[in-house]
Amino acid sequence: MDYVTFGRTGLKVSAAGLGCGGNSRLGQGQGKSEADSIAIVRKAIDLGVNLIDTAANYGTEGIVGKALKGIPRDKVVVATKATIRDGGNMCTADQVVASLDNSLRLLQTDFIDVFQLHAVPPGRYDRVMQELVPALLREKEKGKFRHLGLTETSPQDHKHETMQRVAKDPVWESVMLGFHMMHQNARQVVFPDSIANGTGTLLMFVVRNIFSQPDYLRSTVKELVEDGKLPAEMAKSDNPLGFLIHEGGASSLTDAAYRFVRHEPGVHVVLFGTGNPAHVETNIASILKPALPKADAEKLAKLFGHLEGVGLDLPDHSARR
C-alpha cells in the first residue's frame, strides 16, 4: 500500500480508501449479509487500507463499527458524514450534533478522525458556515472529532461551485469531490486552491456506471457527439474508450479510471466501493499501479477535458464492481 500525508491534517492515509456508500454500500445494496459486509472492511484493512469513509445516510456506520472492533484505534482513519437536509429544510445545528453523537455510538469510537457535512449544494453554503460550523467547532473542541470536512453534491454541482469556496476556506481541512476520466474540471477550479491551502482530498465518482456498463457509455458518447461536444467518429465505435486498453496500458476501463485519478496532482485518497471480496484486491491493485501512459492521459484530457457533469449518476445499487 502507498501512504500519503492527508494535507495539513498530518494524518498518514492509504492512497486507496474504502468507501462504504455508493452503489454497493459494502454489499448492502446487493442484499449481502452484515457478516459479508464486515468481511469486506476486514479484507481492505488486511490489504493496507487505513481510511474508511462512511456516512449516516449510508446505513453502514454500524457495520464499520463492528468491523473495526479489536483493531487499535490509531491504526485506522475513520471518516463519516452528517446530512444537512431534513426533508426540504436544512438541519439545525442541534440535529447535526445529534447525528455526530449517533455516529460515535454506531462506530463504537470515542472520536472521529474526519467529520464531514454531506452533499452541500452551493445555495446552502453560507447558511452552513453561519449556522452549523460554529456548533461543530465547539464539538471539535470537546474531542468528538479531529478534522472538519465537507463533501459536494456532484450530480447537482457540475462546476464544483461549493468546492471552489471550500478549497479557499481554512475552516475546512478535508474535501470530497467528484473527478473522473470524463469529468475533469476539478483540475482547473479546485485542485490549485486545495494544494495551496493544504486541504486533504477524497475522490468519489471515480468509477460509476458509465465505466462499468458498456451500453451506458455508448449512449452517453452518442449524445455528446450529437451535442457537438465530442468528435463524430467516437459515436461509431462500440468501445469509445477502447484505446486505453492495450499492452503497456490499462487492463480494463475500471483499471484505467482508477489509475487516471490516482496520479492527478492534488489528489490524496481515491475511494473505491464494492460488495465483492475479489474486487477489493483488484481495485486496490489498480490504484497502486503506475500512471496511465502519457499518450493515453493526454488523449483523455484532449477529448474530455472540457466536459462537465458527465457520468455523475446517483447510486442505483445496480453496479457489481
Residues serving a catalytic function are 58
φ and ψ at residue 81, rounded to 5 degrees = -145, 155
Cα distance between residue 53 and residue 151, in whole Å: 12
37: cell is 459486509
The DSSP H or E segment spanning 164 is helix 161-166
Number of alpha carbons in the 13 Å side-chain half-sphere of residue 119: 18
| 148 contacts 136 by C-beta, under 8 angstroms | yes
Q: At what angle do helices 93-107 and 133-141 cross, to 10 degrees?
A: 40
Tell me the three state secondary structure of residue 83: strand
Cα distance between residue 311 and residue 206, in whole Å: 10
Which of 278, 290, 214 lies closest to 251 in space, CA to CA? Answer: 290
